[in-house]
Structure 1
Amino acid sequence: MGVRSLGYLRLESNDLDKWKAFGADFLGLMPVGDGDFESLSFRMDDYPARIVVSPGAQPGMTALGFEVLDERQLALLVADVEKAGIKVTAGTEAEAAERKVTGFAKFNDPGGNPVELFYGAVLDHVPVRTPLVSRFVTGDMGFGHAIISAEDARATFDFYVNVLGFIERNTMKSPGGTTWFMGCNARHHTLGVTPMPGPGRLLHFMVEGATLDDVGLALDRAAKQDIPMMHSLGKHTNDRMVSFYVWSPENYAVEFGWNGLKVPEPVPVYEITDGAFWGHHFSPPPQPAG
């Protein structure tokens, strides 16, 4: 038994004001005060903050947090990661309290992406309020999915499948190489790895609304708030999700989707030759002023 879901993302940004509006007023997440008044924390369900954005000179992902079953499973996975030749550091009590988890361990995957394995989310039992979104699709599928890069994407893919227990769902070839999409629960994919020179980094994350209206209303909010579009409304070929993408304040791709394919049992892997049945027309990121 390996990773169960994507539990959280921890990011750094040099413009928290933009992220405050982006997270709450556009995505519809619930801002919460988790004790670190320098950071922004956002809930979407009964779990602690799923996205935490802290101030930083260089925007980037500081943690890709994956949930495991319990303390025993964490210890087994840590041992497997160490056998793969990767140094693992145990999270301190203070760091665990900051994340509102019982325990966790951290390391860099073979591509250089910062990973945290955690167990025992600490629930405060305060009902989540997301008045702009009917409900986010989370539960045992976690908060959504993320796409990361790696210079050696094959080695990174092998690590997630052979060490952390992910299941390959599909691939897609491009001039830059092969992108792998992987699942760890019924959500079609929780993680994707794509080849790119340099240290690994976050390229894209997705949140899923419970209704098509959630997507349409988010599309309206993006237009009203002048949030730059990345991909127009469309439907994916691999997970069948109807979605659109915007550029985050740091120019991550952020997808807001609905009705993603569920894969409750393993199915044969396949390759896709196009990312969308229709739509998802691309717009480049906004250029810096001046």
Structure 2
Amino acid sequence: MGVRSLGYLRLESGDLGKWRAFGADFLGLMPVESDSGSLSFRMDDHPARIVVSPGAQPATTALGFEVLDERELAKLVADVERSGIKVTAGTEAEAAERKVTGFARFADPGGNPVELYYGTVLDHVPVTTPLVSRFVTGDMGFGHAIVSAEDARAAFDFYVGVLGFVERNTMKGPGGTTWFLGCNPRHHTLGITPAPGPGRLLHFMVEAATLDDVGLALDRAAKYEVPMMHSLGKHTNDHMVSFYVWSPENIAVEFGWNGLKVPEPVPVYEITDGAFWGHNFTPPPQPAG
């Protein structure tokens, strides 16, 4: 059956204060403090979708992909190990910190940190997101992520052949082919693009329920001087109307609305441009001094 959704993202940052302002005041997520000193953000009934922990250097420590149950996790772990990748089981304490029943971790062929988990532990505390009418999540997870891999083809083969993702579309660029992969009705949950060096998180997306949510988020970006990465535009592959900003660690973050749903298999296709209109690029801010 394979992966069902992107359930959570875990990061490390040297400045949790900046992330609190970015996640709560700009993105409109609900911040939740933890005993470990990490800062968690909720957007729905899931206990945490984004967790930022203290760290000396910015880092992505986990892309958390949800699977159906314990048996499905065991099957996927065996499949990953047969592919030649070492898998480590999460401890009970680590599972409790993530508020899941069980999980396993490994590095994908590009070096990106992956966690497969099952059994989200719900605390039944209503989520409060007063700046956003609603985030589009549910069985599609919290959004999507784009990662890099030096051998993007090997990473693509792994996610499709081992973890059960479905190819949605491709786009050729100067460095090679980028693949967009789905695992539920959301057009894509994962993108893989070629880049030299170890794999890394390039951007993640959250989807809001209304166009007004996007417009109000644009106003907040201006109010709080959040650096813009792509202006408002509409994508050619998932038809999402969105804009991008730079996070405190210069990860691109997309805030969008009305992404394409693909409930049934459709033939794969190639796009030759990323946007029907808009999405004009601004490079990341340079460090002071």
Normalised to the residue count of structure 1, the TM-score between the two structures is: 0.99
Q: Which residue is 1:180 aligned to?
A: 179
CA separation in 2, counterparts of 1:227 and 1:15?
15
Instruction: Point out the more displaced range, 27-36 or 10-19.
Output: 27-36
Q: Which residue is 2:31 aligned to?
A: 31
CA separation in 2, counterparts of 1:258 and 1:72?
35
CA separation in 2, counterparts of 1:55 and 1:105?
22
Q: Which residue is 1:148 aligned to?
A: 147
CA separation in 2, counterparts of 1:183 and 1:122?
25
CA separation in 1, counterparts of 2:34 and 2:284?
32
Q: Which residue is 1:159 aligned to?
A: 158
Gaps of 5+ in 2: none
Q: CA deviation at 1:34?
A: 3.2
CA separation in 1, counterparts of 2:15 and 2:198?
23
CA separation in 2, counterparts of 1:222 and 1:211?
17
CA separation in 2, counterparts of 1:266 and 1:142?
19
Q: Which residue is 2:42 aligned to?
A: 43
CA separation in 2, counterparts of 1:77 and 1:266?
22
Q: One-letter code of the match for 1:16? A: L
Q: Secondary structure at the match of 1:57?
A: coil
Q: CA deviation at 1:57?
A: 1.4
Q: Number of residues paired by the alignment?
A: 289
Q: CA deviation at 1:33?
A: 2.4
- The 5 Å alignment of 1:1-16 reads 1-16=1-16
Q: List structure 1 runs of 4+ shifted beyond 3 angstroms.
A: none
Q: Secondary structure at the match of 1:28?
A: coil
Q: Which residue is 2:195 aligned to?
A: 196
Q: RMSD value over aligned CA atoms?
A: 0.5
CA separation in 1, counterparts of 2:191 and 2:159?
10
Q: CA deviation at 1:32?
A: 1.0
Q: Which residue is 2:216 aligned to?
A: 217
Q: Secondary structure at the match of 1:199?
A: coil
Q: One-letter code of the match for 1:33? A: E
Q: Is it true that 1:254 corresponds to 2:253 in the alignment?
A: yes
Which deviations, in whole Å up to 9, do the C-alpha atoms of 1:204-256 show, x marking residues without a partner?
00000000000000000000000000000000000000000000000000000
- The 5 Å alignment of 1:1-290 reads 1-36=1-36, 38-290=37-289
Q: CA deviation at 1:39?
A: 1.0
CA separation in 2, counterparts of 1:33 and 1:19?
12
